[in-house]
Amino acid sequence: WDDADFSQGVGTTWYQEYSTLTPTPDPLVQDVEAKIEKYLQTRYEAKWTLKVTWEKAPAYPSRHDDTETNTYQAVLTTDGTRSFALLLYQDGGMRWDYTRLAADNMLIGFS
């Protein structure tokens, strides 16, 4: 994850909020619940979920070029007590040339 720059008109960002008020949850919400339950070994029932997608996002500083882009999503969800963020990347969608990024002291991982 790094700074994306949409100033050259390359790339798209959109979001979708998922309702949990219906008797049958949306398949995306069911998938998010299943991932949380599988990886965290805890029961989880989403009360609110938001998916944000960045498609073909160019790295900062942007050039009018869509060959070095990144496609990824952030899914935010909560059951009213606990909240989670899932960061999802398109397979083969990370095409930023990390040697030309503004920051060269990157740290990858989680805490």
| pLDDT tens digit sequence for 52-96 | 999 988 887 776 666 788 888 999 999 999 999 998 888 877 777
108 falls within a domain:
no
Q: Residue 61, preceding bond cis, omega within 30 degrees?
A: yes
Domain that holds residue 68: 12-94
67 falls within a domain:
yes
101 falls within a domain:
no
Whether the Cβ atoms of residue 39 and residue 89 lie closer than 8 Å to each other: no
pLDDT reported for residue 24: 82
d(CA 61, CA 4): 8
31 falls within a domain:
yes
29 falls within a domain:
yes
Taking alpha carbons only, the member of 77, 96, 88 closest to residue 11 is 96
100 falls within a domain:
no
Give the chain's domain count. Answer: 1
107 falls within a domain:
no
105 falls within a domain:
no
More confident residue, 50 or 25: 50
Tell me the Cα Rg of the chain: 16
More confident residue, 105 or 15: 15
